[in-house]
Amino acid sequence: MPNKVHQLSNGITVYWDPMPESRAASIGVWIRAGSRFEELSESGVTHFLEHMCFKGTKLRTAEEIANEMDFLGGEMNAFTGQEMTSFYATVLSENARRAISLLGDLMSNPIFDAEELERERGVVLEELAESRDDPEDLAAETLFGAYFEGHPFGRPILGTETTIGSFTPESVGQYFRTHYHPGNLFITIAGNIDWPTLSDELENAFREIAPKVKTKIETTRPEPHFSIRELEQDFEQTHLCLGVRGVSQTDQRQSALRLLTTHLGGGMSSRLFQEVREKRGLAYSVYATPLSFTDGGIVRISASTRPSRRKELQEVLISELQRLESVPLTCDELTRARNQLKSSLLIGLESVSGRMGKMGKDILLWGKEIPVMEIEHWIDKVTPDEILELAKTLKWGNNQAISIVGPLKGE
């Protein structure tokens, strides 16, 4: 059954993926707002605004919003990324209408009460402190600062104590009006729903959203920087992150990159797992994660070990990156990486939330949903030679940004 595309009277586009076999529905509101669109002085405001939308509207208090979220069951939440923000709800089909009503209220009528804002400022500062107590989060944040130096991608999505302390109802409200309007957001729905009933509810729930505004937000292309940043911390282990060149999300080499990183650090049979953990016992876990944006990307390699073995771990990781440029994947290795990649994609689409999320991310990047069969075709047609050529082109063995967090001189 084909997806339905519907436009509300105020210009918001709604995409629906029917799943008649399901008892659930997942609704997502996607906003083209993220940390890359912030000025340096307002770093973290996108994430702070996401919090404030739940802290009271013209129709509901913060407590009433929380009570209704729990009453509906399922899951209702939001997240902020570098290039997007999403508010979503996954509920039983019979509760989809009320979930849409609540999401529409959050998007249309937040009031940014000064007292609530002060309370939430404390919450976000605690969230920031918690992330800095997490060694993996801190190592990743330090790596992004090194690799994307001078670019918004290098700043923490949460912001800093200084910027979080500067937000006011007026500044948050201005950011909201700039980004949360029909020209900058859309809705995706997957699941078993009665479309005529829900389309009426969507029209009603989002009718008061701010009108479309014409704003041109200038962005700069992220350029990689290859430097080392060390941060002394009182942890048991030293946490090591390497950042190497990635590709943009719509780059035709994206499938080859995903297969390469899966082979490098995507499972127990990966080169890094076998060399770092199984052969040398250097780390409990080691993995490679690609992250792509509209105009660039990074691949992050992460592991942690005792301080006395950190240099050995770093040498092994770089050696494996260099080996990728000269040792091609065998047919079995490529088949294994293909199976892992396709399994991750297809199993995730068994759920309504997985289908809703894929649809949203596709539309943000491509302006349309990419059929699963087409993605599978992209994966299947990649050859070992193409992967080897990509590894040589990206030059991972010679160019890495490195973050080291933890005890730096322990024996």
| Maximal CA-CA distance, the chain | 67
The crossing angle, in degrees rounded to 10, of helices 384-394 and 254-265 is 90
Strands 228-232 and 401-406: parallel
Q: Answer for the pair 174, 33: CB distance below 8 angstroms, yes or no.
A: no
**DSSP state letter for 242:** E
- Report the C-alpha gap between 249 and 246 in whole angstroms: 9
- Give catalytic residue positions: 50
The residue behind tokens 């990183």 is: 261
- Report the C-alpha gap between 34 and 395 in whole angstroms: 29
Residue 38 CB neighbour total at 10 angstroms: 21
The crossing angle, in degrees rounded to 10, of helices 254-265 and 310-324 is 140
Residue 27: strand pairing partners: 89, 189
Q: What is the DSSP string of 173-219?
A: HHHHHHHSSTTSEEEEEEES--HHHHHHHHHHHTTTSPPP-------
The three-state DSSP-derived secondary structure of 119-133 is HHHHHHHHHHHHHHH
